[in-house]
Amino acid sequence: MAETTQRAAFPIRTSFITEKVGIAPMIAAVVLLLIVLAAIFAPLIAPHDPIYQNPIMRLKPPSAEYPLGTDNYGRDLLSRVIWGARVSLLIGIGVTVMAVVVGLLIGLVSGYIRLADAIIMRVMDGLMAMPSVLLAIAIVSLIGASIWTVMAAITIPEIPRVVRLVRSIVLSAREEPYVEAAISLGTSMPRILWRHLMPNTFAPLTVQATYVCASAILTEAILSFLGAGVSTETPTWGNIMAEARVYFRLKPELIFWPGMALSLCILSINLLGDAARDILDPRMNKREA
């Protein structure tokens, strides 16, 4: 038993991925890779300038020049959806990194120091009691909307989820004899946290990170759609859908394509998260066998 757990801590082997992961996560990985590449190389592959307005070409159907048609200002929809991936992914990754780093630090302290735990966890309970979109809107309207404030506003409600996870892992890992051995070897508290406790959190955090990322992308789209997100000139999936809302009856595809991109992106990330959990959690593996 102990040995399976240890092996699960270093699980990445290529044969393992093809044998055990299955087809759905592979497709998800390919889709996500395409979206990431599209975002990185947006200036090269987008056929048009995403914010160039061409009033003559308003609300045109798909054509050779505009593969997905144009919006109400005559901007190319395909280019706008491609550029929109940039904001979504940037926010998704940025929020994940910030939430994981901050959550990990708070969680470690909370799991190991009893007094800090009592205070920190009540704050976290309070944060979790507020709907995350509402909290984000409040933060954005307080400090103004830019990509950085939006990122911060989405990060804050995500932090408690990471903190709770890290704390619960630390609480069980600190009972391990090797942690007690470290105490009797005179190892200082920060070093015990860093060296003996933190590595235990990596596998579950990887899984949690994918869910945080997906949820951040979705929240960003919601904020944009509500007009509380990144400024309306920037093409984001939420902004495109918000503008196209008025023309929904006339041109439903204006909402369909950015919505499709958003759904595919989130679905892929979630599928990858599930696959990561199956690989990293030895119990799930066993159940399948």
Partner 1 sequence: MSLLEIDNLTVAVDRKNGKTVVRDISIHIEPGELVCLVGESGSGKSVSSLATMGLLPKGALKVTAGKILLDGENLLDLSPSELRDRRATRMSMIFQEPMTALNPVHKVGDQITEVLEAHTKLSNADKHAKVMDMLKQVGLPDIERVAGSYPHQLSGGQRQRIMIAMALILEPRLLIADEPTTALDVTTQKQILKLIKDLQREHGTAVLFITHDMGVVAEIADRVYVMNQGDLVEDGPVMEILATPKEDYTRKLLSSVPSLVPRPARASVSKKTALDVSDLNKFYGAGRFLAKGSATHAVQDVSFKVTAGRTLGIVGESGSGKSTVARCIMHLIEPTSGGIRVGGQQISGLSRRGLKPYRKKLQMVFQDPYRSLNPRLTIEESIIEGPVNYGTPKAQAKARAAELLDLVGMPEGSADRYPHMFSGGQRQRIAIARALAMEPELLVADEAVSALDVSVQAQVLNLLAEIQERTHVAILFITHDLRVAAQICDEVAVMQRGQVVEYGPTADVLGAPAHDYTRSLLTAAPGRDWDFPNFRPVAA
Binding site for partner 1 (CB under 8 A): 2-3, 5-7, 9, 176-178, 180-188, 191, 195-196, 199, 289
We find the least distance from the C-beta atom of residue 9 to partner 1, in angstroms, to be 7
We find the least distance from the C-beta atom of residue 177 to partner 1, in angstroms, to be 4
Residue nearer to partner 1 on the CB measure, 61 or 199:
199
We find the least distance from the C-beta atom of residue 191 to partner 1, in angstroms, to be 8
Q: Which of the 8 DSSP states describes residue 21?
A: S
What is the CB neighbour count within 10 angstroms for residue 109?
19
Give me the amino acid identity at 28.
A
Residue nearer to partner 1 on the CB measure, 65 or 176:
176
Residue nearer to partner 1 on the CB measure, 187 or 231:
187
Distances (CA, A) of 223 to 153, 244, 256: 10, 15, 18
What is the CB neighbour count within 10 angstroms for residue 27?
13
135, 170, 201, 212: CA torsion to nearest 10: -10
d(CA 97, CA 236): 21
We find the least distance from the C-beta atom of residue 278 to partner 1, in angstroms, to be 16
d(CA 175, CA 139): 39
Residue nearer to partner 1 on the CB measure, 134 or 181:
181
DSSP codes of every residue in 179-212: HHHHHHTT--HHHIIIIIIGGGGHHHHHHHHHHH
We find the least distance from the C-beta atom of residue 4 to partner 1, in angstroms, to be 10
d(CA 234, CA 215): 21
Residue nearer to partner 1 on the CB measure, 249 or 286:
286
Residue nearer to partner 1 on the CB measure, 9 or 27:
9
We find the least distance from the C-beta atom of residue 198 to partner 1, in angstroms, to be 10
